[in-house]
Structure 1
Amino acid sequence: MLQRTLNSKQIAEMESRYRARLVSSLSGFKSANLVGTIDAKGQPNLAIVSSVTHLGSNPPLLSFISRPNSVQRHTLENILQTGVFSLNSVEAAFTSLAHQTSARYPRQQSEFEAVGLTAQFEHGFAAPFVQESRVKIALRLIEHHTIKANNTEMVIGQIEQIHLPDEIIKPDGYLDIESLDWVTISGLDSYHVTQRLYRLQYAKPDQPLQPLSVCGDKATWNN
């Protein structure tokens, strides 16, 4: 396979959308989630993100990155106003609808209504969930940081509620999210379903590694 080397000068001189697609692809597959928010006047908002990161389990924290707040960012502004937001799984059955939420709708337009997804208000939580999503997480804002290197915004939330199908929770706490057809994203606009190769036991330096389970045509155990 022919190799190419790109230096920082070449990257900086690329056309902006080409550079964005290239660099955003470098980190590989990313989770797809819909962020549900509401403003102080009760207007709901929905936006797809591919930057959700697990920060810790005690307390249970998740974060995501918002683009620079140089123009109106309804999702970020709503979270800062209300202090709450939801994260919702993006599944193969409605991926195109989820992607459409990335369009720049005016503040008075609900993305739920615009793309054909359903806002779900319940469980005593102010921010809307996505009814079509089978994994729904309610979070309370605990930290917000501007990243000085590029002025993007990191939003950190603490999990207050989790709503998901009981059958995907395994006895050891593992979630079989693949059974939901939860999609992943590569680059800016490429969506994928996954194939699990295997689950592996907790690694220790003095013990041979053994698989907890092996599945999928591409799974090769080579330890």
Structure 2
Amino acid sequence: MHFTKQVIADLENRYRAHLINSLSGFKSANLIGTQDSNGQTNLAIVSSVFHLGAHPPLVGMIIRPHSVPRHTLENLLATKQYTINHVNKYIYNKAHQTSARYDKDESEFDATGLSTEYLNDFTAPFVKESKLKYALELREHHHLAINGTELIIGEISDIYLDDACLQEDGFVDIEAIDTVAVSGLDSYHVTERLARLAYAKK
């Protein structure tokens, strides 16, 4: 099957969204925890989270266009703090439900039955049920004119993880804590590692 640029443009919106979102393969499933200046919490599932650098420890993520209220974006821009929490196989159904459109005064924590957790005096809430989570402070925000999305860059300040997943060389074995991956818009997966390979040299 061959999809040309024109064929892609002419596809029904939902079909096109499924097709294009599936092309990039497995992505990480993350819950972004924020709260506003009044203490109203928010939780949103995001799959476009990516490593930017280890020193300083930077993580980027893409948030959809701010053409409708984006409580996660609004909160983290206001407070400069947010958390990233891995989704595991025990909470993926609840995590997926956070993508529903809740009102500003409705907390996705309460709506889905996930628990807030506050650690080390950090303003933004963590997800208690997540086995790997980290706190971030906003470093850069860029509006991407090409499609209206928002690029967020944060610096990690604190990491909390289950001891079972941390190996001697610093490698985090996410399978040991049942972290799941997502493909497309709504397909969740458990993974099986093939191997860890040695550093490649000529």
The match for 2:175 is: 178
Aligned equivalents of 1:13, 1:41: Cα separation in 2:
44
Does structure 1 conserve the Cα–Cα contact (< 8 Å) formed by 2:164 and 2:176?
Answer: no
> What SS is found at the alignment partner of 2:196?
strand
Q: What CA distance in whole angstroms lies between the structure 2 residues aligned with 1:79 and 1:131? A: 20
Match of 2:69 in 1: 72
Q: Partners of 1:7 and 1:58 in 2: how far apart?
A: 41
Task: Give yes or no for the alignment of 1:25 onto 2:45.
Answer: no
- Runs of 4+ residues deviating >2 angstroms: none
Partners of 1:53 and 1:12 lie apart in 2 by 27
Structure 1 match to 2:199: 202
Q: What residue in structure 1 maps to residue 38 of structure 2?
A: 41
Which structure would you say has the larger Rg?
1
Instruction: Report the CA distance between 1:122 and its aligned residue.
Output: 2.1
- Where 2:91 maps in the other structure, the secondary structure is helix
Deviation at 1:186, TM superposition (A): 0.4
Offset of residue 121 of structure 1 = 1.3
Name the amino acid aligned to 1:35: I
Shift of 1:139: 0.1
May I ask how many residue pairs the two structures share in their alignment? 202
SS of equivalent to 2:137: strand
How many Å apart are 1:181 and its aligned residue?
1.0
2:150 to 149, 153, 173: 153
Q: Work out the CA distance in 2 between the residues paired with 1:113 and 1:183.
A: 22
- Structure number with the bigger relative contact order (C-alpha 8 A, sep ≥ 6) is 2
Alignment of 1:34-183 (within 5 A): 34-183=31-180
Paired letter, 2:45: I
Report deviation, 1:167. Answer: 2.5
Classify the secondary structure of the residue corresponding to 1:198: coil
**Residues 66-89 of structure 1, C-alpha deviations (whole Å, 9 max, x = no match):** 000111000000000000000001
Distance in 2 between the 1:108 and 1:149 partners?
32
State the secondary structure of the residue aligned to 1:93. coil
Q: CA RMSD in A?
A: 0.6
Q: CA deviation at 1:148?
A: 1.3
Where in structure 2 are there 5+ consecutive unaligned residues? none
1:158 Cα deviation after fit: 0.1
User: In structure 2, what is the equivalent of residue 215 of structure 1?
Assistant: none
- Which residue in 2 is equivalent to 1:193? 190
CA contact (8 A) 2:164 2:177 kept: no
TM-aligned CA deviation for residue 36 of structure 1: 0.1
User: Matched residues in 2 for 1:108 and 1:167: separation?
Assistant: 37
Letter aligned with residue 100 of structure 2: A
Distance 2:137 2:64 in 1: 20
Distance in 1, Cα, partners of 2:80 & 2:146:
25
